[in-house]
Structure 1
Amino acid sequence: MASGRTSVNMRDHGGEGGSHDLLSKKAQKCIGRFFLENGIDLSAVNSPSFRQMLGVVSCRGDADQLRYKIPSFQDMNGWIFQEEWKEAEEYVKRIKDSWTITGCSLLLDTWVDMNGRELVTFIADCPEGPVYLESYDVSNIKCDMVALTLLIDEVVKKVGAENVIQIISCSVTGWVGELGEWFAGCSRGIFWSVSVSGCFELMLKEIGKLEVVTNVLDKVKNISKFIHSDPSILKLFRDHSCGKELIVLSKNDDVVMPYLALERILTTKKNLTTMFVSSDWKSMIWANKEEGLTVARLVEDSCFWNAAETVQECTIPVVDGLFLFAKAEEPQVGLIYDTMDRIKESMEKGLSHKKLSCKPFWDIIDEVWNTRIYTPLHGAGYYLNPFAFYATDFHLDPEVTAGLLASLVYMVKEEGIKIKILGQLDVYRLGKDYFFEASRIDKISGITPAEWWGRYADQHPELQSFAVKILSQTCEGASRFRLKRSVAEKVLASGGKSPPLHHFAFVHYNLHLRRSKTLRRIQ
């Protein structure tokens, strides 16, 4: 195919002339969006292999197909980019307009590139969706807390200090960890937390270091490894387990896989036991080899199964919590406090009949919770979540009360409004006036806590605004969006002096984030 004006076959259902031109333009824009959304250099549109690929895909031999021109680099970098830029700006503006009601969380995506540069990308997230703000190279200021704080202040100022409720990082190491400690030690009016998924993964890693857990997971690994070491053994297992598999895939493979494998081993306990006493197994050459004898003895060992059940009781609640927050589309601040309590209660209940202590597991969870996750915002979220507050098992401990009051002090600057909110909180606490009707289960079910306040608390606008802003926040960090960091690296490699690259990053990231939000809603 000739370069520059190569054409692609695409069917036109709207006739010739103007309709053809409109569809041709739409087709070209789709190609442009693909490049921009995936962070592909726009000049790649001139690649002969790319043009040949489109030609091969589109040529089906239909006589009534029309031929649409593949956009040139000038098209991609000209009108196509300008239209995408305009749409990205409109998307960002729509999101920003919602911040006055819901506020937003500032998410930090930090990493070290191949050249050793310390980089960070800022995202603002709210119920309407995430938006890309800016990327920075902090290599020269990573040891200067004052300079880093000024950088945060600059980003917050651009967003609007009144709009930023909290900052969420994905790490507690390096400069970002030190900055988090700095924020925790001073009253800045903005809460600092660490991504809840990363914290749950840390809990599982630390739990995995406990001797009883290590021993069980190693034995589970040995069983699974042996079953998959030979096709004949795997076939025998499948025959006895009605086709079940021992391997379970997960997006969090490194951390979660051992615990999911443990769960699967326990569900196939009867199948494994039956397999290793069957005549088919005894007739196999493996039945007389040391590896086979070791695994067979392990499967027959009741102490192993008891220990495996104990470990499962104390780890699967954490795994379930990780999946709950990783997959959650709605804001989680109103859920996390109660969820953590229920995880610990589940552990205690699971071990109570065995008269075993949960303390080693609880200590790990509490350490991560207290030092990395918890902020007053989470206590306030629990209190203001009507589903939790009006439930019969709601527990008002000092931490929750302190969190609610601290959030009020930090977030509300005007003393007159604080006083009004305190009075309105009494009405909410006692379930008086309209809250009496709104606290009914049918009024709470099927909507988010923030939506409940937006729908039923109009008579108490100050408390309503306060509650909506708290309950509209996420507990997840930027990692959930899987940003393509190479785009930011190119921008920052130019020293920030290349407007075209800045513009490309703005369009790319906001297209990606918009798409990510859409996909999460579908899943």
Structure 2
Amino acid sequence: MFEFILDDKFQDYLLILDKKMSTTGSSNPKVTRKNASGNRYDMGWQYTIDVENNSRKVQYKFCSKIFSGGIFRFKHHLACTHKNMEPCLKVPDDTRKEILEIWVKNAEATERKRKIINSIDDSENKNDEIQQVISKQKGKNTMDTFMTKGKWSSSATGSGQTTINQMLKRELREDCCQQIARFFYACAIPFNCVKHPEFAKMLELVGKFGSGLKPPSYHDIRVKYLKKEVTHTMELLEEYKAEWKKIGCSIMSDGWIDKKRRSICNFLVNNPKGTVFFTSIDTSDFSKTADKVCEMLDAIVEKVREENVVQVVNDNAANYKAAGEMLIEKRKRLYWTPCAAHCIDFMLEDFEKKLKVHATTIRKARRISTYIYSRTLLISMLRQFTKGRDLIRPAITRFATTYLTLSCLSELKGALMTMFTSNSWKSSRFVSQQDGRRVQQTVLDSRFWKNIIRCLKAALLLVKVLRLVDSDEKPAMGFIYVEMD
């Protein structure tokens, strides 16, 4: 039944096509250009103005350009598709969207016709007479040729409809991305936030909702959804607590000072499932004696439950060490473990305090960096010779910044020596100052650079281990003993 209906429609189409071809095939046809002023039926022509004394050219209404092409290229110009024609920069958005919608509708209609013709061509029960008519009618004026070679025919990448949709989505995506970027710029949000997985999840849910999404209000963010997030976090914490009961966990404490100069002590719980923040205590109001530290650690162990705790990890300072010994004396099942990164940092500090060559070299290096970075003109001069590099760089770890600075000085040795022997330095006012001459003598002293190499050879192996144990990328205890050996 389905094939019979298709055959009837196709026969009607062939009859109309034959009638049209017989009419246009007369001996003396009257030829009329399809873009002539009396033969413009496409709605795109309403956006043009006829050029006086020239029936073959028209003028764009929006950008005032004059052209002599067909309506096909002109509509690409209005739709700003960047195909066959440069886009119009002054076309209104509603007009551009209207033209793009027409492209989509035409592409969909053309695609439907192509599918009907292909279905007929592929049918095994075709009438022999229809097959003969099809073979005769194939030519440059037939629908088959238009659908095969036309602008909106299917290709290896998909149908014409898909191409138009991709075009619309590409422009819409550019606008969306520009607005997202503008939000980042206006609110001074760090760019690396786009790497966070929650950012991608947020945009995915917004896309699923579609247009008309009402954003959350200030009160929603501050109260409603914050409470929900706290509840969600506590539910996740319950999953971690279940793992603590199965395989145990480690309690870690870390002290720091915030921007308000408050002393904060954070407590975290770690096990193979991951590390979670447990709580924090403001220690600004009391002295962190061994008894007080032991009291804090004991309270955290009580909350986590003693049977789940394997060890307590904290700094290797004297008060924390004494507190750890007091804690394991009270709770026999626990171990106290000093922080490996803090221990190695103490070793590097001992290098500076107890080895004369290290102390002297580090003092001179600090004098150089302090002198340069306290003067704006010298910073500018330095970056000209070092090609933008600095003597002090942000450390990958929180410790060993002294030896990392020595490493930077060693790498920039040539640039520094060139700078302090250049005409820019000799013509500056700093060369006549006592501090400036002292820094110049230090930079040009070959013994100073030899001592830097000696210090780095002694310390860089420890710095390498320090980077490993202070990194958050992977657990360090599996290789810490081998690296220390």
TM class by smaller structure? 0.3 to 0.5
Flag the structure with more relative contact order, 1 or 2, with Cα contacts below 8 A and sequence separation at least 6. Answer: 1
TM-score normalised per structure 2: 0.46
TM-score normalised per structure 1: 0.43
Bigger CA radius of gyration: 2
